[in-house]
A and B are shown apart, each in its own frame.
Chain A
Amino acid sequence: MKKASIVMMVGSLLLLGLYFFPLWNIMLGAPQYPEPLGMNIYIDGIKGFNEFDIQNIDGLNHYIGMKTLPKPEDMWEFSAFPKVIGGMVFLGVLIGFLGFMGKVNHKWFLGWLILMSVLGVLGMYDFNAWMTDYGTNLDPHAIMKLANPDGSPMSYKPPLIGKAKMLNFDVDSWPRAGAYMMFLGMLLTFVAYIMGKKSRNTKTS
């Protein structure tokens, strides 16, 4: 159980990567942008992949009436997410510590993981909702109004994950280092749960 608790603590600490590394990345490439434009999404704001990418993406987007990309103060998520992640790291380390001391059992590890997964899914849902609004809620005075073949207004929502073609842009939306560290951390807490369970089984048998 001691080993399992250490793994639990390491796993939750890996979430700290989200403070330093981007969670998600969206790149927009086109023939006239041999160096694609891109944005890195952090838990506390959006930064250009290259220094001036945000300004240049906004410059392009204004033709089709998209809003400018949000600054940290424009969205509650960017102040809430760091607190939530911080809370989960604290909670995970606390549970791990208590497990180490023999105060709680491995089921708490699983409990933490389920809570984290729920929060993660909610986060993804929120992220997707924001992108949908951003890509479809267009300025009615937009310079260019494009429609799908069926006549409905064209959506510029980037894919939640994966590749998509938007006009002449190839859009790539993928997790980045922060997210990978989070996934790894969550995997480790699951491993901690299994280890805890096994050590209990061996003790009781």
Chain B
Amino acid sequence: MKNYKHYLVALIGSALLFSCGNQNGKSSSNGALNSSNAEKVYVAPGEQDEFYAFMSGGYSGNLTVYGLPSGRMFKEIPVFSQFPTSGYGYSEETKPMLETSFGFVPWDDSHHPDISQTEGVLDGRWIFINGNNTPRIARISLTTFETEEIIEIPNSAGNHSSSFITENTEYVVAGTRFSVPVPQRDMPINEYKSNFKGALSFISVDPEHGHMDIKFQLMMPGFNYDLSHPGRDKSHGWFFFTTYNTEEANSLLEVNASQNDKDFIAAVNWKKIEEYVNNGGGTMMPANYAHNVYDEATHTATSTMKKEVLTVDPLKVPGAVYFLPTPKSPHGCDVDPTGQYIIGNGKLSADLTVHSFDKMIAAIEGKKFDGEAYGIPILKFEDILAGVVKSGGLGPLHTEFDGKGNAYTTFFITSEVVKWKLGTWEVIDRKPTFYSVGHLMIPGGNSRKPFGKYVVAMNKITKDRYLPTGPELEHSAQLYDITGEKMELIYDFPTHGEPHYAAGIPASILAPKSQKIYRLDDNKHPYAAITPDQTRVERKGNEVHIYMSMIRSHFTPDNIEGVKVGDKVYFHITNHEQDFDVPHGFAMIGQNTSELLIMPGQTKTSVWEPKKVGVWPFYCTDFCSALHQEMQGYVRVSPADANIELTWTLGE
């Protein structure tokens, strides 16, 4: 304890800057040098990891897949950002995925992945993730590991308290971080107060296909909605959102939004609102937002603009929304696996505030209110409080659970993970992180059934952990073994982008159903060449459509003539392989877009607008066989006024 006080004193000076927990680092990282710890993370050649970890890419806009405990990165799944590695967002089929009401937005800030659940248990069908900047929610298939759907969220800005899901994947939520005028209009910013609204969107998920649809938007007061978590088990049917800036300041929020001693956790009884909406409640409002769906049979995405959204005024549904006062600008909002405890982490405090769901219900039934905010009842802090974790750390952010009655909370300012006991609120252990930890993740740690073997800390600062790579370093993640009473730091590994949150799932759930190829006989792409005799070249005005196939180690056709300067050349390429992990690539000289990586059985289209007369090569970019280097072809480009017939050949 003495040691710990020393630590706190040392840190407090620099508390509101980034922490510098290094001074304790040497002594407390002995664990990592322990050979038994090396064995715990070593996955020998030919062996496979026990868990998949899906880490949000933050400003990369994507989602990365890692193995635990090895920390090996398996894949980057493109979601909200163009990805030249595969042609996502560049190919004609995937460009519609990035359409929005603002037009083509080829990037986003992806924050919080969440895996679909059935009865509160991870089922491994899909993973959802939010785009924070241009509000969007994406659904990714966990059989193909491809983004299948993206829905834009109207009336929202800074889609941060998202994309968390209810325990049967009934809804994905998209809570707005920034309140904005609804509908958007030209108005003075300093008239924010009482004029701006915070939309909490409930997006229904079709249980069979996963298709998303905004069921309703709850129009809340103009606070900032930070993070959220669905109720579990007994609290299923409720959703909890942390707020900050209940002051409704619009400038220098650093100071002005930190004045109230307590902000709120908004408790939303979504079942009540769902019932109200199903009975015809709510107001349909004009809107304009994109809904992009990727069809696996045609390998093609379509984007449609939706024109209205159902809004709900919380005051019209009495008993549906309450405010739970929570100290000091709470950030993380987490519900334990039993659904009893709602943990609000006051990012400017030292303590954790834990609300009791039972007490909350009792207080609501007893109408023990402490005033209201914009007509929404505020419950009395003392009536709903289950307990306080007096940790002495600073800046608690996020909490996950191990399923054995313990909770693990990250402290950003003091750079540490603190283990504490649900119910007694006693601190059991604390371990430093390196450095400035944000979220943490236990596989299944936000579900009813956590797999409490490891915790991964997602750190913001890397500094001296790895070899320096100039001023920019990949962020560091740290793996702790949590099977014992005390946590043990067992591994460090770099992560791509800025992982905010992550979701983990046992490999035994996902690996057996991972798709290996696309079946050629299921390929319904309108421009596919399913057999080599379907390959051809057609001209429609100045458009030239090349129906091409590829197999180890050639393109069919490989010589094309009759293309002219000013043409728009569409390469529709079908990979005829039906073998696991045999994609082929396609790249064309001078093309103003990216390569394509085409999976076995898949068709993709790339556009090329030749600008110069000549004979121009294309080639396969993905090493496919001993004769990969020979996998190439030529397009002859003639002057715009030339009279060359379209011809195409192979092997002549």
Contact = CB atoms under 8 A, between A and B. Distances in A.
A84 to B, nearest CB: 34
A52 interface: yes
B552 interface: yes
B8 to A, nearest CB: 53
A97 to B, nearest CB: 46
B578 A55 contact: yes
Interface in A138-181: 143-144
A71 to B, nearest CB: 15
A144 B517 contact: no
A38 B626 CA distance: 22
A56 B578 contact: yes
Nearest to A51: B578
A70 interface: no
Interface string B593-631: 000000000000000000000000000000001110000
Contacts of B625: 63
A59 interface: yes
A85 B551 CA distance: 40
B552 A59 contact: yes
Contacts of B522: none
Contact of B579 (A56, A63, A143, A144): A56
A63 B578 contact: no
B574 to A, nearest CB: 14
B627 A143 contact: yes
A170 to B, nearest CB: 16
B626 A63 contact: yes
Interface in B528-564: 551-552
Contacts of B552: 59
Interface in B580-595: 580
A52 B627 contact: no
B626 A52 contact: no
A42 B517 CA distance: 27
B575 to A, nearest CB: 12
B626 A144 contact: yes
Interface residues of B, number: 10
Interface string B92-122: 0000000000000000000000000000000
Contacts of A52: 517, 578-579
B426 to A, nearest CB: 49
Contacts of A143: 626-627
Contacts of A56: 578-579
A105 B627 CA distance: 66
Nearest to A34: B46
A55 B580 CA distance: 12
A106 to B, nearest CB: 53
A189 B626 CA distance: 53
A143 B627 CA distance: 9
B579 to A, nearest CB: 5
Given A52-B517, A52-B578, A52-B579, A59 B626 contact: no
Contacts of B627: 63, 143
A178 B578 CA distance: 28
A200 B577 CA distance: 64
Interface string B294-326: 000000000000000000000000000000000
Contacts of A63: 625-627
Interface string B624-641: 011100000000000000
A93 to B, nearest CB: 41
A198 to B, nearest CB: 54
A35 B580 CA distance: 10
Interface in A39-59: 51-52, 55-56, 59
Contacts of A55: 578-579
A35 B552 CA distance: 20
Contacts of A35: 580
A35 B516 CA distance: 12
A156 B35 CA distance: 48
Nearest to A54: B578
A48 to B, nearest CB: 10
Contacts of A51: 578
Interface in A115-156: 143-144
Which of A56, A59, A143 has the largest number of chain B CB atoms within 10 A?
A: A59
A57 to B, nearest CB: 10
A150 to B, nearest CB: 25
A30 to B, nearest CB: 13
A52 B551 CA distance: 14
A201 B551 CA distance: 69
A88 B626 CA distance: 48
Nearest to B46: A34
A143 B625 CA distance: 12
Contacts of A144: 626
A35 B626 CA distance: 21
A56 B516 CA distance: 14
A56 B520 CA distance: 14
B242 to A, nearest CB: 47
Contact of A59 (B517, B579, B580): B579
Interface in B128-147: none
Nearest to B581: A32
Contacts of B517: 52
A144 to B, nearest CB: 7
B67 to A, nearest CB: 17
Nearest to A63: B626
A67 to B, nearest CB: 17
Nearest to B601: A52
B45 to A, nearest CB: 11
Contacts of B551: 59
Which of A51, A52, A56 has the largest number of chain B CB atoms within 10 A?
A: A52
B111 to A, nearest CB: 36
A63 B627 CA distance: 9
Interface string A15-44: 000000000000000000001000000000
Which of B578, B625, B626 has the largest number of chain A CB atoms within 10 A?
A: B578
B293 to A, nearest CB: 28
A63 B579 CA distance: 16
Contacts of B578: 51-52, 55-56
Interface in B26-49: none
Interface string B415-440: 00000000000000000000000000
Which of B551, B552, B579, B627 has the largest number of chain A CB atoms within 10 A?
A: B579
A7 B578 CA distance: 47
Interface pairs A-B: 8 shortest CB-CB = A52-B578, A56-B579, A55-B578, A59-B552, A143-B627, A52-B579, A63-B626, A56-B578
6 contacts: A52-B578, A55-B579, A56-B579, A63-B626, A143-B626, A143-B627
Given A52-B517, A59-B577, A144-B626, 16 more contacts: A35-B580, A51-B578, A52-B578, A52-B579, A55-B578, A55-B579, A56-B578, A56-B579, A59-B551, A59-B552, A59-B579, A63-B625, A63-B626, A63-B627, A143-B626, A143-B627
Interface of B: 517, 551-552, 577-580, 625-627
Interface of A: 35, 51-52, 55-56, 59, 63, 143-144
